[in-house]
Amino acid sequence: MTASRERWMLFGAFILTVLFVCFFIVPNYQNATFASAGAIELELRIEQLERRQVEVEKMHQDFVAIKNKIQSECKFVPTSPDTAQIVKALSLEVDGQYVLDQSFTTGTSSAKLQEDGGFSVQPLAVTLHADFDSIFSVIENVESMNRLIRVSSLRIAAKDVEKDGEVPILDAAIGLHAMYDNVGGLK
């Protein structure tokens, strides 16, 4: 081969190399760089999404805990005093042995608290001639009701002297305040 032919072959090989680099390697390198940047961006977004999912799960658990706390600790405030429902819930069976007598007396509703943006109060008195366990069960029933009722007073007196082997019968007066929001019903 002659020198000029070798030069043309070398020059052709150089041109082919340049063309190969320009048309194949550089575009593929640019595509790879662009794809790599896109992959990094997607990985960051996935990490951010995973963090958000953890945050959402924590918020959901907090929501469930608060909801359970509200259901267990907070009481409902109705729009009317509904004393019939209270009397029904607190009534004991007069059996002649443990409960000799029970009566309920309602007072006049008070809007005193309503002026301050609070609730209206329906006073209610429960008088019992019964043993201590029965009296205590009425108080427990008040506390376990799902509506807001406050025990405002409690008076227990022993009239009869204890007799051997018999349960002592006590006189009790329990003052209650049943809260209600009559303005809330008008909104």
* Statement: residue 115 has pLDDT above 70: no
Any domain includes 120: yes
- Say if residue 41 is in the same domain as residue 87: no
Same domain, 119 and 139: yes
Q: Look up the pTM and report it.
A: 0.59
Tell me the HSE value of 13 on the side-chain side, using a 13 A CA sphere.
Answer: 5
Average pLDDT over residues 119-139: 91
- Which amino acid belongs to residue 107? G
Distance between CA atoms of residues 56 and 72, nearest Å: 24
CATH value at residue 143: 3.30.70.60
Whether residue 39 sits in one domain with residue 90? no
Is the same domain home to 64 and 106? no
Domain boundary, last residue among 33, 52, 74: 74
| pLDDT tens-digit map of 8-63 | 888 888 888 888 888 888 888 888 888 899 999 999 999 999 999 999 999 999 99
Assigned domain for 124 exists: yes
Please state the domain count of the chain: 2
Is 185 a domain residue? no
Do the domain assignments include residue 186? no
57-113 confidence digits (pLDDT tens): 999 999 999 988 887 777 878 888 888 889 888 988 888 888 889 999 988 877 655
Residues 151 and 109 in one domain: yes
Last residue of a domain, one of 24, 39, 74: 74
Q: Is 121 exposed, middle or buried (0-12, 13-18, 19+ CB in 10 A)?
A: buried
Token readout for 29 is 């390198």
Residue ranges making up the domain that contains 94:
83-180
Map residue 130 onto helix, strand or coil: strand
pLDDT band at 161 (very low <50, low <70, confident <90, very high): low
Q: Are strands 120-130 and 149-158 parallel, antiparallel or unpaired?
A: unpaired
Do 92 and 130 sit in the same domain of this protein?
yes
